[in-house]
C-alpha cells in the first residue's frame, strides 16, 4: 500500500496558544493554516475546526474535544492525545507519529491516506469509521474498537491487536502476519480473505469454536 504523503509547508509560522487561536478560527469561520503548535492544552474544546498544513509537536491535548474537524496535511508528533474526541472528523494525508492515543475517539470518522506509527493506542475507538489507505505501523492497539469499519485499504505491521474488536469489519486482503491478534473479536464471515500465519490460523480456529486435534 502506498499512501499519499502529508504536504506540509517547508516553513511553519509558530503558533501561539492553540486554544486561543482555535477559538479565533472558529469565531471567524476561517481555517488554521501552516502553523506549528506546541505546549499543553488539555481539555481544549474546538469542535468543527478546519486545519490545513499544521504540525502539532509534543503537544498535550488529552481529554479535548475536536469533533467534526477537518484535518488536511496535518502531522501529530510525540503528542498526548489520550481520550481526545475526534468523532466524525475528516482526515486527509494525516500522520500520527509516536503519539499516546489511549482511549482516543474516532468513531464515524473518514480517514484517507492516514498513517499511525509507533503509537500507544490502547482502546482507541474507530467504530463505523471509513478507512481508505490507512496504515498502523508498530502500534499498540490492545482492546481497540474497530467494529463495523468500512474498509478500502487497511494495513497492520508489527502491531498488537490483542483483544481488539473487529466484529462487522471486512478483512479481505488485510495482512496480520507480523502482528499480534490473540483474543480478537471477529465474525467468521469477516475473516474471509484475511492473511494470517499458520499459528494465527490455529488461534482464530479456537476463537471460532473449531476443535483442532
Per-residue pLDDT of the chain (213 residues; tens, 9 = 90+): 889 988 888 888 998 899 999 999 999 999 999 999 999 999 999 999 999 999 999 999 999 999 999 999 999 999 999 999 999 999 999 999 999 999 999 999 999 999 999 999 999 999 999 999 999 999 999 999 999 999 999 999 999 999 999 999 999 999 999 999 999 999 989 999 999 999 898 888 777 665 555
The rounded distance, in Å, linking the Cα atoms of 122 and 146 is 12
Nearest to 107 by CA among 123, 130, 83: 130
DSSP labels, 145-196: B-TT-EEEEEEEES-B-TT-B-TT---TT-B-TTSB-TT-B--GGGGTT-B-
pTM metric for this prediction: 0.94
Q: Which domains does the chain have, with CATH numbers?
A: 13-207 (2.160.20.80)
Q: Which three cell numbers stand for residue 210?
A: 473449531
Amino acid at each position: 500500500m502506498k499512501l499519499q504523503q502529508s504536504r506540509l509547508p517547508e516553513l511553519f509560522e509558530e503558533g501561539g496558544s492553540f486554544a486561543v487561536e482555535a477559538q479565533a478560527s472558529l469565531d471567524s469561520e476561517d481555517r488554521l493554516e501552516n502553523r506549528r503548535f506546541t505546549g499543553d492544552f488539555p481539555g481544549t474544546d474546538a469542535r468543527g475546526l478546519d486545519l490545513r498544513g499544521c504540525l502539532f509537536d509534543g503537544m498535550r491535548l488529552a481529554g479535548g474535544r475536536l469533533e467534526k474537524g477537518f484535518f488536511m496535511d496535518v502531522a501529530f508528533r510525540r503528542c498526548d492525545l489520550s481520550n481526545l474526541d475526534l468523532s466524525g472528523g475528516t482526515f486527509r494525508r494525516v500522520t500520527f507519529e509516536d503519539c499516546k492515543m489511549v482511549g482516543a475517539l474516532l468513531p464515524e470518522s473518514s480517514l484517507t491516506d492516514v498513517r499511525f506509527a509507533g503509537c500507544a493506542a490502547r482502546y482507541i475507538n474507530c467504530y463505523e469509521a471509513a478507512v481508505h489507505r490507512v496504515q498502523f505501523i508498530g502500534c499498540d492497539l490492545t482492546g481497540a474498537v474497530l467494529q463495523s469499519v468500512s474498509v478500502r485499504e487497511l494495513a497492520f505491521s508489527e502491531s498488537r491487536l490483542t483483544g481488539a474488536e473487529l466484529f462487522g469489519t471486512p478483512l479481505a486482503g488485510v495482512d496480520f502476519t507480523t502482528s499480534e491478534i490473540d483474543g480478537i473479536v471477529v465474525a467468521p464471515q469477516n475473516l474471509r480473505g484475511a492473511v494470517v500465519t499458520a499459528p494465527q490460523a490455529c488461534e482464530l480456529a479456537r476463537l471460532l469454536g473449531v476443535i483442532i486435534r
